[in-house]
Amino acid sequence: MRQAKTLLAAVAVLPLLFAARMARADDAPIVAAGPEASPTMEAPAPAYDWALLHAGVRPRLATFVGAGTFALAQGRVHHFYGVASFATVRQDAGVFVGATELALGQANAEKFYGVAQLGFSKNLAGTFAGVTQLSLAHNDAESFGGVLQLAPYDRAGDFYGIAQIGGYDRTERDFVGALQLGVVHDEADRFRGLVQVSLAHAATRDFGGALQLAPYAHTNDFAGLVQVGVLSRDDQAFAGGLQLGLVNAVGSGSLFSRESRDGSFGGGVQVGALNWNDGTFAGVLQVGVLNAVSKGFTGLAQVGLVSGTEREMWAPVQVGGFLAFAEEFHGVAQIGTVTVSDHVRGAQLGAVNVSSEDHYGLQLGAVDYSADIRGAQIGLVNVADKVRGVQIGLFNNATSLRGLQIGVVNHAEDGSLVPWSTIINMGFGSDGREAPLAASND
């Protein structure tokens, strides 16, 4: 019985002892895995086929079909088909098909199909299809399809999976998955997923997902639900639900430069201390201390300490605690301490109201000015070049009056019964470009 056990033990150990032959002193790996591949690397000789189990210090194999390989230093195999390969320093495989490739140092595979690639210092894969690529330092895959890539530094040419988590995460082309989470930096050329989160910087050329969250959240085009950051910036367009930041910027131009006017906001709400749209705003609400839109505003309301758009504004309300400005205002009311517009369709409500060209509606404030008012001016001081309506105040002045002036002092140069009057003045004036009242359609 004792002799039989000894014989069986010898038979089991014999393949391992036979495989433990030293390879020649050629340190070149069999494959150059992932993006660091060199086209000049070729398989060193001798590389032979092996089956079942293989062990050695630095073995080189052409094709292995069996349970597993073990390398005391570096393992190299062209094609591995088995359960697991292990190396203390480095494990190289051209094609790995199995459960686990494990190295205490670096694990490389040109093509990996399995469960996990575990290199404690670094994982390299040209094509990874599996569950997990895990490293304490660096994961690199030209194409990753799996569940999780986890390391302080994760890089993928294309990522298709659930999560990429690391200190620095980078996807050079497409990210399709649920989560990209980097402590320092998240980057993807195209992100299609749920969440991109970073404690410092999240950057994406083309973002499509639910949430981008970082102190500096930066995209070229954003299409999603929420973008949150201290600085939230989209170089071309924002299309989504909410942009929330201390500073929100859409467009490649700067606030103080007129070089570019190409940004557009389309969505729900933009909320921040400074909201800057280097282009158009089409949404529900813009709320901030300073709101600026260069090419026009269409929405429900623009509300801030200072609110302005360089071109047309189509909204029920524009509110500027200090200043509300629009080149053209179409809505219910422009409200602020000072309201300014070239053309107004609606009401101006402020301490000082200015309509530099024409106004259709109401001006209500301490001081009201309009070049051409068709409606009513109500204030302490009302001044207009042409009045087609009513002026009510302490002092009312019109160059041309067709309507009524009610005040302590009323003055009208053209059209009034008398140039100066008190209490009430009536005018039927023409500035020379209009027919008399009886023949006019006004």
pLDDT of 420 over the 70 cut: yes
Computed over every residue of the chain, the mean pLDDT equals: 85
* Contact present, 244 and 232 (Cβ < 8 Å): yes
What is the C-alpha to C-alpha distance for residues 8 and 324, in angstroms, rounded to an integer?
A: 93
pTM score > 0.85 for this model? no
Buried b / exposed e along 283-304 (16+ C-beta atoms within 10 A):
bebbbbebbbbbbbbbbebbbb
Over residues 12-19, mean pLDDT: 35
What is the C-alpha to C-alpha distance for residues 408 and 395, in angstroms, rounded to an integer?
A: 6
Report the amino acid identity of residue 8. L
3 state DSSP class of 437: helix
Place of tokens 């670094």: 122
More confident residue, 9 or 164: 164
pLDDT at 209: 93
**Residue pLDDT, tens place only, 178-221:** 999 988 888 999 999 999 999 899 999 999 999 999 999 999 99
What is the separation, in whole angstroms, between the first and last Cα of the chain? Answer: 123
* Contact present, 114 and 96 (Cβ < 8 Å): yes
Comparing 8-17, 165-174, 231-240, 320-329, the range with the smallest average pLDDT is 8-17
> How many CB atoms lie under 10 A from the CB of residue 224?
24
* Contact present, 232 and 241 (Cβ < 8 Å): no
Beta pairing class for 195-198 and 122-129: unpaired
Q: What is the DSSP letter of 416?
A: B
pLDDT at 430: 66
Comparing 24-33, 72-81, 118-127, 261-270, the range with the smallest average pLDDT is 24-33
* Contact present, 427 and 403 (Cβ < 8 Å): yes
